[in-house]
Chain A
């Protein structure tokens, strides 16, 4: 058991780095995912993951595998899409889902075009799926900084964010913080996706954001516990996914996300809060 669970991390530096990186991503991204889910914006994470692609691609083409250039590029592209979509929603009759879809699709197409014409399929695969087993010190520092900034921001803006999710109309009637809370959440989504794509790729990073949050919803009815359970599921999925990847020679990013998916499936069936089994049992109790 020790050999299977601990030895890989004890023996190999790249595994320890991957573990630290994934734990940092879980700490930052899963609470953001909880708020996205509660704001009924789970698919926004997916849209933003696509939106950062052209920025990361331009950064890659300009400076190669430069962490700084790809991060700055991804941040600019993601924030531009988030802010433009927010502006169009507030300035026109178009709803946020439609304006976000319009901008992320334009952004995604631009990203694929840039990579296809100037790079190779290998480059595209790197940006889309990441390389968690090749995280260097700079990448780990970036992931740690993003997780710290995310947790600090969520702690400061906790009440406005909760109110923005639970009763946005009331928040607008008592405070001007509604737009601040909304835009801050979008910025945190972009930051965590940009951090996450170093390890998991743009497409997989959104998985560690949303799947643990969706799984946690079946276990608790309190917002604090929801964040704690989601973070725990994110971390467990990271460790389990890395070990599966190591022992069975699987690509690590998809392995981590599939374990999170398994946690979601188990929660869906067995979770005490409106899980399928709980609902079936409750139905029988009512019939009896």
Chain B
């Protein structure tokens, strides 16, 4: 099976302080993978490394035939300025950037696709509503609609279901499963193990270093969770010693 991503001895960090240490492994193309681990385990940092917004301190990330423009990324705390005077349809339409660029116009076919994406996340009737009037769950739905339009081969989601109600979560998981069904690679940082067990066939567990990676049932064991917690507690020491004692 070909890979979408391969981590080669990857170390990532901030101000030369590693947050992820010597990560090895690959994410298969078309896979649906959850990244789990304790707080501060480096889960979001890995996604930032994949998007290219954070350069590796050591090692590298190989994109298996992908270009950066084929990656869509939904960060944990989206930067969207909710007070900005823009309508839901305009926010969602930004997902067409790669097709129409910064200067092209929206044609009828594009508007139809925007309407389709808005309908797919259950926001029909909200097209002309200012984004400032949306609830947290509704804005997350709109951001998923924008991801739909990005039509990316690799989708990165950082805590996508945090602070959304159960119905919104169920609908958005439906969108994630649809991407998986279409053969796209999805990599999602999650903290709720029940959601991971129910919907994500593969899991990568991090504690600044790789704890385990493989089928979810084999990764989410009590032993691995205990080990991950110990490794992260050990990470309060010097970065180079991260995880060594516990592992």
Contacts and interface: CB of A to CB of B under 8 A. Distances in A.
B234 interface: no
Given A165-B84, A167-B80, A167-B81, A160 B102 contact: yes
Given A165-B84, A221-B130, A156 B94 contact: no
B102 A168 contact: no
A220 B71 CA distance: 35
Contact of A169 (B75, B87, B97): B75
Contacts of A220: 85
Contacts of B53: 172-173
Nearest to A168: B79
Interface string B67-80: 00101110100111
Interface string B81-101: 100111100010010011001
Interface residues of B, number: 26
B158 to A, nearest CB: 11
Interface string A157-183: 101101101111110111101000000
B94 A167 contact: yes
Contacts, number: 58
B86 A159 contact: no
B103 interface: yes
A175 B97 CA distance: 8
B162 interface: no
A177 B78 contact: no
Given A221-B85, A222-B87, A167 B103 contact: no
A19 interface: no
Nearest to B104: A159
The 10 A-B pairs at the shortest CB distance, nearest first, are namely: A169-B79, A166-B84, A174-B97, A160-B102, A167-B80, A221-B130, A221-B85, A223-B85, A159-B102, A173-B73
Interface of B: 51, 53, 69, 71-73, 75, 78-81, 84-87, 91, 94, 97-98, 101-103, 130, 132, 146, 150
28 contacts: A38-B81, A38-B85, A40-B81, A159-B102, A159-B103, A160-B102, A163-B94, A165-B81, A165-B84, A166-B86, A167-B79, A167-B81, A168-B79, A169-B75, A169-B79, A170-B80, A170-B94, A173-B51, A173-B53, A173-B71, A173-B73, A174-B69, A174-B97, A175-B97, A220-B85, A221-B85, A221-B132, A222-B87
